[in-house]
Amino acid sequence: MEEVISEGDDVLLYLSGDKRWLVKVKVDKKVHTHAGYIEGSNIIGKRYGEAVKSNLGRNFWLLKPTVEDYVLKCERKTQVVYPKDMGLIAAKTGLTSGSIVVEAGTGSGALTMFLANIVKPTGHVYSMELKEEFLDVARRNLKRSGLLDYVTLSLGDASQGFGVIDADVAVIDVGDPWRLVESAWRALKGAGKIVSISPTMNQVEKTYEALLRTGFVDVECVEVLVRSMQVKSGATRPSTRMIGHTAYLTFARKVFGDEKTLKEGDTESIGVVSDEEG
């Protein structure tokens, strides 16, 4: 069924390229842009997908915001995880509606929004953050995107524990992830997946060692590079600019091994899958 835009709905006003505004529609409010202003009353009653004209006669498309739009337009007080990395995190951790997730640190809540949008309506994200000021930012971002109901935010040091058991997935995005590996192991159910997000290789190596020591196998580390295409009839080619390095993603699965079986276990290099293995 077509959705008609009402007072209080979120709309992505799309002009062209990266000229786009994520707004909450209010009947008595104008949205000001460099291409003129748009009256809220002219948006209400239209369907998503229709256009509205600014006072300067420019066409703006009325689009329904996706979780990526909320992530890209969110208030940021910390480094945030990029959509290109979020996609692989979802695929490799097997996140699904109903999953229970523990997360540290919350930061601005960009990744939290993405996780909550997948696990809803029956799953839940328990997200822990050291600094109250960042929790406030994350709370605002989650509220704006309508996802706060699926998240419990708490203030604390996740290296001391998440206060959750039987989680399906643990997501770690802190500067010293190796210190949180034990807490994540305690929070996860058997075979539960962990992902650690780190910008530097020395963080990856320390985390890898902690994972093997603690009781994780199937450790894999990857970096995601995305190249946008400039599409033009007869002249399509890769864009000149691209996002370079953001983070390395390290994945593993929890097992119940004793010290001996763990030592005998996963000793191969991480992130290396030969072609023959298929």
Ligand X SMILES: C[S@@+](CC[C@H](N)C(=O)[O-])C[C@H]1O[C@@H](n2cnc3c(N)ncnc32)[C@H](O)[C@@H]1O
List residues near ligand X by CB under 6 A. Answer: 78-81, 104-105, 107-111, 128-131, 134, 157-159, 173-175
Min separation Cβ 65 and ligand X, Å: 18
Helix (H) or strand (E) holding 139: helix 132-144
How many Å separate Cα 78 from the centre of its chain?
13
* Nearest residue (CB) to ligand X, 80 versus 125: 80
Min separation Cβ 243 and ligand X, Å: 15
**Which residue, 138, 230, 128, 225, is CA-closest to 180?**
128
Helix (H, G, I), strand (E, B) or coil at 37: strand
* Nearest residue (CB) to ligand X, 12 versus 195: 195
* Nearest residue (CB) to ligand X, 23 versus 104: 104
* Nearest residue (CB) to ligand X, 33 versus 198: 198
* Nearest residue (CB) to ligand X, 149 versus 176: 176
C-alpha–C-alpha distance, residues 6 and 26, integer Å: 9
Please enumerate in sequence order all residues whose Cβ is within 8 A of that of 86, keeping only pairs 6 or more positions apart, or say none.
71, 111, 114
C-alpha–C-alpha distance, residues 261 and 259, integer Å: 6
Residue nearest to ligand X (CB): 105
* Residue indicated by tokens 């298929």: 278
Asked if 270 contacts 208 with a C-beta cutoff of 8 angstroms, the reply is: yes
C-alpha–C-alpha distance, residues 159 and 104, integer Å: 9
DSSP 156: S
Min separation Cβ 241 and ligand X, Å: 22
Helix (H, G, I), strand (E, B) or coil at 133: helix
Min separation Cβ 84 and ligand X, Å: 13
* Nearest residue (CB) to ligand X, 130 versus 262: 130
